[in-house]
Homo-oligomer: A and B are copies of this chain.
């Protein structure tokens, strides 16, 4: 069996470094013994090679481990290297928690400023102002002389139509001011600070490079403008942007540690953890945050990252709690405590809410994407400031008259989730007081089982209007050039719908205690239906419909209530919502935005269903010119340069000879250019006529010929290959699991073509009858 088994095939392991991008010592006498700056790095808007990056990190780690046996200093270095990951996580948690606390406090203050000002110090928010004044009783916390509405301050009275108009105008003024500041700051200093950031972070985590997206300017501007955008009353939340903020923190802190600064794959592990931190501080749900990162955002999520994310998420949650921005010592944003259990019959309305959530999710995604596409393609996109101002004005104008839209999204959700207690003065609890001595309510407490009163009917009308308003305005708000999260608006829509249905069920039960539906579990006087729970289930359903989250959503909601009891309704609604929404299109809002922006993102969740073969997808296509290849010897520097310049490919396969087409390795364009450039400058005798050699041993050249340029050091000796007959589903699987950016295609041992991530994405777009040129980047 004449296998070409020359000695170097059995060369000792230490020579392997020659195959890597210049890491470690090489046994070959090679001009590239020390890696050139730039070799092995990536350009902007390019995809990283996960396998190489991780291999590079293992090399680095191996080196440190080997050295650590030699001296104490090296040992300490090795230990500090091992713990640097944990230290980094601690710092990310602390910084993100602190920032989130700051954002909460500032947003609360500015939101209150739209309504009035504190006389004892304008830097106090409403609640804080009344605490300071020491006069407010517990029930009347929000009324104190020190806090004056704008009408009071300007006209001296808070009564009457004139005062109302003054307040209304001031409300609109502040909304316009805040939104103007937000959009101007974003445009002037950090265009990447707009939007929720989650689609881009998903793309970055999958291995794409967008320089500056997680930089310090983005962090600073996003933090400030997020506060402004939330305070302006626009229909947006701060949860998505908080994920972006946490990722910025992580990215910046990565620069403190060589291990993470220099390795794109390792840095992405930290970013995955940061995504968990973002959700953890947004909702006070560390476990939910970790699962969110795992389920929704991350691409490569090793178990080590799971544990570290959990640690960082906890640190952040406790940092936030020690800042205590909500003033209630609670970890969670919406603290809910339900007492009544739910009954199996109630699963029907819960599933109904799931269907509503799914329908709304699908509708919202379509409408929002259509609107965003219009923004991208028409003149609308040229006036982002005007767009934001118009939407802010419209929002403020329509929102102010209705108390449920005037309050912030988080407050609204909080109120809708709440159960009515006996002393609750909220309109939502405007039940008729049934006296305890009537026969009907002789048993049971007076809290439960009451007919709706006038207050509640008003509230229901207002809620219905708020629902329509929120559904409309969110579609045009999400995607504007301000930081905007989608969690709170989606949850608000669902919570309103849920509360409406819940109150409906409650009244139905009140008037039909004896019907077969309610008999047996909802007797008169029993506290059987909790409208707050319906609101919660509705919120989960709508959020699920929009984002297609499942486990993480249920766990986040579970962390809010803290009782396993209510997981089943949440699960039923989330599951229904996902199924209904998936029937209209499998993409969640984030994937839809990724596609809209043409990022090269290979969805890890979706299966490749088509039965193509790799040969159908690879390049060159049948009609194309042949694949551009380099030969391992025999080409001159001039020929190589000509080949590189005549094409735009980012890499070239190296073959034994043009005739045999047997594959030797793969060279990246960038590395090739840098190396030749460097050799021409530094190395003597390298001219255009010099031979370029990729073999292990230099060929013998004529005495008068210029010395050859040896480039084996920059060649990847282990390029990935698949055969032309490999089904595309397997090839896609390989790309996803290994995080490749290209793969060579062979037929019977001969090089036939190349397939890249972009080719796959284009092919998938083609199958789905979309424009393959919508995939923009490499």
Contacts and interface: CB of A to CB of B under 8 A. Distances in A.
A95 to B, nearest CB: 19
Interface in A585-625: 604-605, 607-616, 622
Interface in A554-583: 554-555, 558-559, 562-564, 567-568, 571, 575
A491 to B, nearest CB: 20
Interface in A676-726: 717-726
A437 to B, nearest CB: 34
Nearest to A565: B331
Contacts of A608: 58
A662 interface: yes
A188 interface: no
Interface in A295-321: 295, 302-304, 306-307, 310-311, 314, 317-318
Contact of A2 (B61, B656, B661, B747): B661
Interface in A274-293: 286-287, 290
Interface residues of A, number: 102
Contact of A721 (B5, B294, B721): B721
A4 B750 contact: yes
Interface string A732-753: 0110011000000011111111
A672 B470 CA distance: 65
A554 B310 contact: yes
A718 B271 CA distance: 35
A13 interface: yes
Contacts of A19: 725-727
Nearest to A750: B4
A3 interface: yes
Contact of A718 (B11, B612, B660, B725): B725
A657 to B, nearest CB: 10
Given A16-B725, A721-B721, A748-B664, A10 B615 contact: yes
A4 B314 contact: no
A62 interface: yes
A749 B749 contact: yes
Q: How many copies does the complex hold?
A: 2
Given A295-B303, A609-B65, A9 B311 contact: no
A659 interface: yes
Given A16-B613, A611-B13, A615-B9, A55 B3 contact: no
A759 interface: no
A609 B550 CA distance: 37
A14 B610 CA distance: 10
A304 B311 CA distance: 25
A724 B9 contact: yes
A73 interface: no
Contacts of A567: 286, 314
Interface string A46-65: 00000100110011011001
A564 B317 contact: yes
A231 to B, nearest CB: 29
A748 B58 CA distance: 26
A249 to B, nearest CB: 21
Given A2-B659, A717-B723, A752-B3, A613 B562 contact: no
Contact of A61 (B3, B286, B609, B737): B609
Contacts of A306: 294-295, 550-551
A663 interface: yes
Given A310-B551, A551-B306, A558-B287, A723 B718 contact: yes
A370 B93 CA distance: 42
Nearest to A726: B718
Interface of A: 1-5, 9-11, 13-14, 16-17, 19-20, 51, 54-55, 58-59, 61-62, 65, 286-287, 290, 294-295, 302-304, 306-307, 310-311, 314, 317-318, 331, 550-551, 554-555, 558-559, 562-564, 567-568, 571, 575, 604-605, 607-616, 622, 626-627, 629, 655-656, 658-665, 717-727, 729-730, 733-734, 737-738, 746-753
In the A-B complex, the 8 residue pairs with the closest CB atoms: A662-B749, A1-B626, A718-B726, A717-B725, A737-B737, A307-B550, A718-B723, A749-B749
